[in-house]
Structure 1
Amino acid sequence: MFKQQFKTSNNMKKQLLGFVLVLSGFSATAQELDLETCLKMADTANLTIRNARLDIASNEKQIDSYMSARLPKVTFAGDYKYNAIIPGQVVPAAFFGGIPGTYSTVQFGVPINLSNTIQLTQILYNPQVNYGLRALEINSTIIETQHQLAVQEIRQQVAGTYFNLQALSKQQSFVVGNIASMDKLITNMEAMEREGLIVGTEVDKLRINRLSLVNTRETLGASTEQLENLLKILIGLDPNQPITLASDALVEKTILVDESAIAYPELDLLEAQKQLNIEERKGTNMAYLPSLAFYAAYNYNYNIMPKDDYRTGIESAFLGLQLNWTLFDGLEKHNKQKVNAFTAQKIANQQELTQQQLEMVTANAKKQIEIQTGSLAIAKEQLVLAERVYKQTEAQFNEGTVSSNDLITADNSLQQAQTNVVAAYVQLRQAELAYLKSIGNIK
C-alpha cells in the first residue's frame, strides 16, 4: 500500500512539473498580433482610454449626487453646555413690582444644559437645481465626445506604430537578403584573390559595404525594439511580454474599407459647449427667482441644577417654510450674462474655424493619398529596375567586365530602391490614417 501511495505521489509530481513547464513555455512564447487585435486591446487596456471611461463614470455619479439635492435632508445636532457663570439679563424693576424707571439684573437658566435637535429640510423649489442637472447632462455629452476623440487618437497611434513595425520588418528582410548576397560575392572574391586574379582591395570594398549593411540591420533592430515597447504601452501589454506581428503584409493593403461613415466629434464637442453656454445663460436668469424650502424640527432640552438636585426636560417642535430671495447682488448676474455672451461668440467663431480646418485636413489627406499612391507606383518601378540592374551588374562582375565599384554602386541603388518602396507604403498608410481620423472613422 505504501508503494502504491508513493507511486501515486510520484506521478502527481511529474504531472505538476509538466504543467509548470507548459506554463513557463507559454509565457515565454511571443504573442502574435494583427492590427485588429491591437486596436481591440487598446480599446480596453490603453490607460488614456481607460481614464476617458472613468471620466464618464465619474460624471454619472456626479449626476446621481446632484439628484440627491431633491431628496429631504435629515440632520441631528447635540449640544452639551456647562455655564460656569449663568448669564444674566437686564429687565425693568417694575416687572417684579419694583420702582418704575429702575432696572434689575436677573439670571435665567441652570448651570448644565443638554440640547438635542433633529431637523428635516426639503427643497420645494430651487431653479438652480434644475439648471445644474441639465448642465451635468450636457457635460455627459461633452465627456462622451472627448472619449471618442481619445479613442480615435489612440487608434491612430496604434495603427501608425503597427505599420512602422511592419515596414521595419520588411526592410530588415531586404537587408538580410542583401547581406546573404554580399556574403556569396565576398566568398567568390576571396577565392579569386587566393588565385591571384584580383587584388585584396577589391574584396575589402565589398567587406566595407557588408559592414554598412550589418550596421543598418542593427539600427533597424534597435528601432524595432523601441517601437515594440511603444506598441506595448499603447495596447496595455506587459513590457517584458515578447510579441510578433502577423505576417499578413498588412502594410501593403489599403485600410480605406468604409468611407461612408463620416463623423466630426470635434464639431459635436463644440455644439455641446454651445448648448452648455445656453444653459448657463438660463441658469443665470433663473438665479433672479427665489428658492423655497420646508423644514421641521424637534428639540429636547435637559436642564440640571446640581446644587438643588433639580432636573427637568423641555420639549419643543416646529414646522416652517423658508424663502430665500436675492433682491440685489451688486450686478453680479448682469456681468455674468455679459461674459456668457462673449463666450457664445467665441464658440460660434471656433465652430466656423474648426469646420474649415476639418474640411481642409480631409481634403489635404485625400490629396496626400493620391500623391503617395503615385509615389508608391514609382518606387515599385524603381525597385524592379534596380533589381534588374544589380543582377546584370553582378553577372558582369563575375565575368570580370565591370569593377567592384560598379557592383557597389548597383547594390547601393538597390538598397535605396528597397528603402523607398517601404517608405512609400508607410507614408501611404499614414495618409490613409490621417484621412480616416479627420472623418472620425478609424475602426
Structure 2
Amino acid sequence: MKSVYLIPLGVFFGFVFSTKSTNAQTLDLASCMKMADTANLQVRNAQLDIEFNQKQRGAYLAARLPQLNFTADYKYNAKIPGQVIPAEMFGGPAGTFTTVQFGVPIVLSNTVQLTQVLFNSQVNYGLAALAVNSEIVETQKQMTIQDVRYQVANTYFLIQGIIKQLDFIDSNLVNTKALIKNMESMVQQGLVIQTEADKLKINELTLANTKASLLATKDQLESLMKIYIGYPKDAIISFEADKLVENTILVDQSESNFLALKMVESQKKMNEEEKKGIKMGYLPNLSFYAAYNYNVNIKPEDNFRKGIDGAFLGLRLDWNLFDGLEKYHKAKMNALNKEKIVNQYDLLNQQLEMAVDNNRKQIEVKAGALSITKEQLQLAESIHKNAVLKFKQGMSSSNDLILAENGLQQAQTNVVATYIQLRQAELEYLKSIGNIK
C-alpha cells in the first residue's frame, strides 16, 4: 500500500508557518482532493489498468474472428528425390523394383488459408474472466482513490497543525522579546542580575531554533502535497485555515462503501468462472478452415512451366480425451480456494465492523480531548498573563515567569497535537467505511 507521511506528536513543539506570498494559490481540502483525483500518478495508473483490461477483452474477442494467412514458398531441387516402385508397373519383370524421379527442379507454391473458430471453451472462459476482472480493477481504482485522498487529507491537516503552531510561536516570540527588553532595562538599573535576563534569552533561542527546524518540515510536507495533487513543484502553494472544531470532515456518516469486501466478492465471482472454465475444458474445440493453393512447376532446361491450383474445405475437431487427471486436480484446488475466499470474507467483515466501531469511539475520545486541551490553553494563558504582570511588578522571580511560559507552550502544543489526532481519527473512520470525499 502507499506510504502515509506521519509526524510524531513530539514535533508539534515546533510547528511553524512561513510567510505567504501574495501570488500563492490558496487551496482548501476539497480542492486538493479534487486535483488528486485527476492528477495523482497512482490514480492515473489505476485508470490505465482499467483501459488495459478493456484492451485485453478486445484481444480475446479477436480470437472469434476469422484468421486469414498467406504463405509463399520457393523450392529449388538441386537433385530431384527418387522413389522406389515395382518395375512391373513399367513392363519390367515381376518382383523387381526400379527408381523413378517425380517433379521438376523449381517449384513456386502460394497458399491462402482461412480459419474460423466455431467453438473454443477457453476463449469463452477468458471473456467471462475478463468481465469479472473489470470489476476488480474498478474496485482497485476506487481503493487507490481512497488511499490517495487519505494521504492528501492527512498531509493537509499536518500542515494545518504547523500553521496553528506558528501563530503560537510567533506570539510567544513577541512576548519573550518584550520581556527581554524590559529585563535588560532592569539589569542596567541594577534591579536584577544578568543571569535573570539570560534565562529568558535561552527561551527565545529555543523558540527560534524550533521555528527554523520546523520550517524545513513544513517545506517537506508541502513538497509531498504537490506530488499527491500534481501541483508544479516550483510553484508557491498555501492552504486555507481549518478551524479547531470537532467533526468538520464527517459530512455523511451513513454512506458506507466497503471496498475491501467488494474486492473479495469479485474474487468469489472469479473463482466461479475458473470452476466453469475447468468444466468447459472437457469439451472439444471445433474450427472451420479453407485453403487455396497455386503451384508453379518449372524446368528451365526444357523451358517447361506448368501452373497447378487446388482448393479444399474442412472441419477440425480437437478433443483431449485424457489429460492425466490435470483438470480433476485443478477442480480440487479451485474448491479449496473457494473455501479460503469464504473464510477471508467472513474475517474481513468482522475486522471492518470492529475497525468502524473503534474508529467511531476514537473520534468521541479525541473530540473530548480537544475540548479539554482548549480549556487548558485558556487557563495557561490566564496564568501566563498573571505571571507577566507579577514579574513586572516585582512580585515574582524570573523562574516563575519561565515556568508559566513553558506551561503555556505545552498547552499550545497539546491543542495542536490533539487537533491532529482528532482529524486523523476522523480520517481513519472515513477510510474504514470507504467514504473519504
**TM-score band (shorter)?**
over 0.9
Native 8 Å contact 1:89 1:106 kept in 2? yes
Query: Which of 126, 134, 141 is equivalent to 1:132?
Result: 126
**Unmatched 5+ stretches in structure 2:** 1-20
TM-score of the superposition, structure 1-length normalised? 0.92
CA drift of 1:367 comes to 1.1
Other structure's SS at 1:263 match: coil
Deviations 1:84-130 (A, max 9, x none): 12122222222222222222222111111111111111111122221
Distance in 1 between residues matched to 2:23 and 2:90, nearest whole Å: 101
Identity of aligned residues (%): 59
Indicate yes or no: 2:317 matched with 1:323. Answer: yes
Native 8 Å contact 1:284 1:337 kept in 2? yes
Indicate yes or no: 2:227 matched with 1:233. Answer: yes
Aligned to 1:68: 62
Aligned to 1:262: 256
Distance in 2 between residues matched to 1:250 and 1:339, nearest whole Å: 55
Other structure's SS at 2:309 match: strand
Deviations 1:40-98 (A, max 9, x none): 11000111110000000010111111111111111111111111121222222222222
Aligned to 1:308: 302
Distance in 2 between residues matched to 1:56 and 1:370, nearest whole Å: 39
Aligned to 2:385: 391
Query: Which of 114, 122, 128 is equivalent to 2:116?
Result: 122
Other structure's SS at 1:296 match: strand
Indicate yes or no: 2:368 matched with 1:381. Answer: no
CA shift in 2, pair 1:253/1:276, >3 Å: closer
Query: Which of 47, 52, 56 is equivalent to 1:58?
Result: 52
Distance in 1 between residues matched to 2:339 and 2:242, nearest whole Å: 51
Other structure's SS at 1:70 match: coil
CA shift in 2, pair 1:390/1:28, >3 Å: closer
Aligned to 1:428: 422
Distance in 2 between residues matched to 1:229 and 1:251, nearest whole Å: 27
Query: Which of 332, 335, 338 is equivalent to 1:344?
Result: 338
2:170 maps to a residue whose letter is V
Query: Which of 338, 356, 367 is equivalent to 1:362?
Result: 356
Query: Which of 24, 30, 38 is equivalent to 1:30?
Result: 24
CA drift of 1:142 comes to 0.5
Native 8 Å contact 1:270 1:347 kept in 2? yes
2:285 maps to a residue whose letter is S
Distance in 1 between residues matched to 2:315 and 2:233, nearest whole Å: 64
Instruction: Tell me which moved more, 358-367 or 134-143.
Output: 358-367
Other structure's SS at 2:279 match: helix
CA shift in 2, pair 1:218/1:61, >3 Å: same
Native 8 Å contact 1:113 1:301 kept in 2? yes
Aligned to 1:439: 433
Query: Which of 74, 87, 90 is equivalent to 1:93?
Result: 87
CA shift in 2, pair 1:251/1:370, >3 Å: closer
1:166 maps to a residue whose letter is Q
Aligned to 2:215: 221
Distance in 1 between residues matched to 2:276 and 2:245, nearest whole Å: 53
Instruction: Tell me which moved more, 29-38 or 158-167.
Output: 29-38
1:261 maps to a residue whose letter is E
1:308 maps to a residue whose letter is D
Native 8 Å contact 2:247 2:426 kept in 1? no
TM-score of the superposition, structure 2-length normalised? 0.93
Distance in 2 between residues matched to 1:44 and 1:28, nearest whole Å: 27
Native 8 Å contact 2:160 2:242 kept in 1? no
Other structure's SS at 1:327 match: coil
Query: Which of 94, 98, 101 is equivalent to 1:107?
Result: 101
Native 8 Å contact 1:42 1:235 kept in 2? yes
CA drift of 1:288 comes to 0.3
Query: Which of 37, 46, 49 is equivalent to 2:40?
Result: 46
1:167 maps to a residue whose letter is G
Q: How does 1:158-169 map to 2 (within 5 A)?
A: 158-169=152-163
Other structure's SS at 2:376 match: helix
Instruction: Tell me which moved more, 54-63 or 235-244.
Output: 235-244
Aligned to 2:76: 82
Distance in 1 between residues matched to 2:244 and 2:118, nearest whole Å: 63
CA drift of 1:215 comes to 1.1
Distance in 2 between residues matched to 1:145 and 1:383, nearest whole Å: 45
Other structure's SS at 1:121 match: strand
Other structure's SS at 1:294 match: strand
Other structure's SS at 1:75 match: strand
Distance in 1 between residues matched to 2:75 and 2:245, nearest whole Å: 81
Instruction: Tell me which moved more, 133-142 or 96-105.
Output: 96-105
CA shift in 2, pair 1:36/1:442, >3 Å: same
CA shift in 2, pair 1:344/1:328, >3 Å: same
CA drift of 1:251 comes to 7.3
CA drift of 1:282 comes to 0.6
Between the two structures, name the one with larger relative contact order (CA 8 Å, sep ≥ 6). 2
Native 8 Å contact 1:90 1:105 kept in 2? yes
CA drift of 1:219 comes to 2.0
Aligned to 2:148: 154
Distance in 1 between residues matched to 2:303 and 2:244, nearest whole Å: 95
CA drift of 1:346 comes to 1.1
Q: In the comparison of the two structures, how many residue pairs are matched?
A: 417
2:90 maps to a residue whose letter is F
Aligned to 1:17: none
Native 8 Å contact 2:244 2:419 kept in 1? no
Indicate yes or no: 2:236 matched with 1:242. Answer: yes
CA drift of 1:28 comes to 9.4
Native 8 Å contact 1:251 1:426 kept in 2? no
Distance in 2 between residues matched to 1:327 and 1:283, nearest whole Å: 16
Aligned to 1:299: 293
In terms of fraction of residues, the more helix-rich structure is 1
